[in-house]
């Protein structure tokens, strides 16, 4: 290591991951298996809405919420890395490796998602109504939508999304770690050059993935801003998780001098900024649908504003995800007093999960109509509004924790080698970074 690079690190700084990664992987996988099995057992007695009436649909809905939750964190971390290189940022160099570790969880998230994809390909319709025979007889559904919403094509798009995300994350992580060994400045230029098209790929894939994984739960409803709103939540989750993982690593005695209060201050600024961005996109979606007053569009909010219990979830979400953190994170000190900032990060992650819960769970109850001897399933958001209750279940929490455990296992896979880019030319400027 050159003198210039040595000067950017304190001689007593501990920045090696050591052997802690394997313990994290083992603990995460054990937690995932145990909690998933528990969730499956708990959901066995729940009333299902599948064609064969076998139940367990509650498990799949809770699993989808938890899975899209951890996926959003990885996506937020990936864009953190892309933006860092795109704008040639210096302050974020110290925390970039933490973001790379979080973005490196895509392979294990992709494997976890097979719990949803494989049953879908096998003909089960526990989550997606468009996999049910009743969807073939639905009104206001175009032929092109029937083509798009087929299990095989859905699985193909799933592979495309994760191929893109895994490819992007690996491209930047491999070069970042290679620079740790060689100190080659050309690697920084390569990453900056590719970051521009990478951001375009990211933007397209995250929007289409949000449409596929979440919006198609109610295939007769649509919103062109839906993917952007999911992106906003993902960025909140990504920045909050980068801050929390950095704090956890520092509690182990590592990165004590490389990540400072100044870095947490800037991470807090981004959590604050995307809290407003999320609220802006959520309000934009609501306002445009309310103003147009088209029945096929207003049905989304009809159940969430007037359904028994859901109106209170909507109110809590408005205050908890936006108003309270927006006001309190405005302060300089709420971002610089680390225990307080950690509380806000956990707070926002919990409300991000509640946001996904609010998006997914109203679709759990499917309506049905009898036509003589025929029984036609009319899908989500079609039954009486007053009967669409929250009906909270312990499965909703156990599946969430199961997916968090899987995510932790993915983090453990990335805890190896250096925890900061030790030969990045901007590391010294990042360590010395100050807010004014």
Identify the residue with better confidence: 26 or 371. Answer: 26
Number of compact structural domains in the chain: 1
Helices (H), 255-323: 261-292, 295-306, 310-317
Residue 2 lies in a domain: no
Residue 31 lies in a domain: yes
Distance of CA 196 to the CA centre of its chain: 22
β-bridge mates for residue 367, sequence order = 379
Confidence tier at 135 by pLDDT (50, 70, 90): confident
For residue 269, pLDDT beyond 70: yes
- Tell me the average pLDDT of the chain: 91
DSSP code of residue 418: B
Identify the residue with better confidence: 43 or 329. Answer: 329
Give the DSSP H or E segment for 68. Answer: helix 57-86
Helices (H), 91-150: 93-103, 106-112, 114-121, 143-148
Residues 6+ apart with CB under 8 A from 317: 351, 354, 355, 358
Confirm whether pTM is higher than 0.75: yes
Residue 7 lies in a domain: no
Query: Do 307 and 275 touch, CB atoms closer than 8 A?
Result: no
Q: How far is CA 116 from each of CA 62, 155, 171, rounded to the nearest angstrom?
A: 11, 10, 27
For residue 425, pLDDT beyond 50: yes
pLDDT digits (tens, 9 = 90+) for 10-60: 788 899 988 889 999 999 999 999 999 999 998 875 554 543 344 688 999
115-144 burial string, b = 16+ CB within 10 Å, else e? bbeebbeeebbbbbbbbbebbeebeebeee
Mean pLDDT of 68-97: 97
Query: What pLDDT score was predicted for residue 49?
Result: 53
Phi/psi-derived region of residue 418, left when phi > 0, alpha when psi is between -120 and 50, beta in every other case = beta
Lowest mean pLDDT among 132-136, 178-182, 197-201, 227-231: 132-136
For residues 97 and 40, what is the distance between their CA atoms, to the nearest angstrom? 36
Residue 338 lies in a domain: yes
For residue 346, pLDDT beyond 50: yes
Residue 11 lies in a domain: no
Confidence tier at 4 by pLDDT (50, 70, 90): very low
Mean pLDDT of 258-286: 96
Listed residue (189, 122, 126) closest to 151, CA to CA: 122
For residue 189, pLDDT beyond 80: yes
Confidence tier at 7 by pLDDT (50, 70, 90): very low
Confidence tier at 5 by pLDDT (50, 70, 90): very low
Mean pLDDT of 268-295: 95
Distance of CA 339 to the CA centre of its chain: 24
Q: Can you count the helices (H) and strands (E) in the chain? A: 18, 2
Identify the residue with better confidence: 242 or 44. Answer: 242
Query: What pLDDT score was predicted for residue 141?
Result: 66
Residue 13 lies in a domain: no
Question: Quick one: tokens of 32?
Answer: 């995932």
Q: In which domain, by residue range, is 154 found?
A: 26-427
Query: Do 342 and 332 touch, CB atoms closer than 8 A?
Result: no
Residue 152 lies in a domain: yes
Residues 6+ apart with CB under 8 A from 358: 304, 310, 313, 314, 317
Lowest mean pLDDT among 96-105, 313-322, 375-384, 390-399: 375-384
Query: What pLDDT score was predicted for residue 52?
Result: 38
Residue 19 lies in a domain: no
pLDDT exceeding 70 applies to what percent of the chain?
Answer: 92
């Amino acid at each position: 290591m050159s003198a210039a690079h040595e000067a950017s690190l304190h001689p007593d700084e501990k920045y090696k991951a050591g052997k802690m990664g394997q313990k994290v992987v083992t603990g995460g996988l054990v937690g995932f298996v145990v909690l998933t099995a528990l969730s499956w057992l708990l959901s066995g007695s729940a009333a299902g809405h599948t064609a064969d009436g076998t139940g367990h649909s509650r498990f799949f809905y809770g699993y989808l919420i938890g899975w899209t939750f951890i996926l959003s964190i990885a996506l937020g971390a990936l864009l953190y890395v892309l933006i860092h290189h795109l704008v040639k940022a210096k302050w974020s160099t110290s925390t970039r490796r933490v973001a790379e570790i979080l973005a490196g969880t895509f392979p294990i998230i992709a494997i976890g998602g097979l719990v949803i994809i494989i049953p879908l390909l096998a003909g089960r319709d526990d989550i997606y109504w468009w996999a049910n025979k009743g969807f073939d007889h639905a009104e206001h559904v175009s032929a092109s939508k029937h083509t798009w919403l087929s299990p095989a094509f859905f699985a193909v798009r799933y592979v495309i999304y994760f191929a893109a995300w895994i490819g992007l994350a690996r491209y930047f992580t491999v070069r970042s770690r290679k620079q740790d060994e060689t100190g080659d400045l050309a690697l920084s230029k390569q990453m900056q050059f590719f970051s521009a098209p990478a951001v375009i790929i990211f933007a397209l894939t995250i929007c289409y993935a949000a449409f596929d994984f979440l919006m198609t739960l109610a295939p007769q409803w649509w919103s062109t801003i839906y993917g952007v709103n999911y992106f906003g939540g993902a960025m909140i989750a990504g920045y909050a998780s980068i801050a929390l993982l950095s704090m956890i690593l520092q509690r182990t005695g590592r990165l004590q001098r490389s990540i400072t209060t100044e870095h947490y201050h800037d991470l807090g600024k981004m959590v604050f900024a995307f809290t407003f961005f999320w609220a802006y996109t959520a309000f934009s979606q609501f306002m445009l649908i309310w103003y147009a007053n088209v029945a096929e569009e207003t049905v989304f909010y009809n159940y969430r504003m007037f359904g028994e219990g859901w109106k209170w979830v909507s109110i809590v979400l408005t205050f908890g995800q936006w108003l309270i953190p927006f006001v309190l994170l405005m302060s300089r000190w709420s971002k610089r007093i680390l225990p307080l900032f950690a509380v806000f990060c956990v707070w926002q992650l919990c409300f991000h999960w509640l946001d996904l819960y609010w998006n997914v769970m109203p679709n759990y109850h499917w309506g049905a109509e009898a036509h003589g001897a025929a029984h036609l399933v009319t899908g989500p958001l079609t039954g009486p509004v007053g009967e669409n209750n929250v009906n909270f279940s312990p499965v909703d929490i156990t599946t969430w924790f199961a997916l968090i455990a899987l995510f932790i296992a993915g983090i453990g896979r990335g805890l190896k080698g250096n925890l900061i880019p030790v030969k990045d030319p901007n590391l010294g400027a990042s360590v010395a970074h100050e807010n004014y």
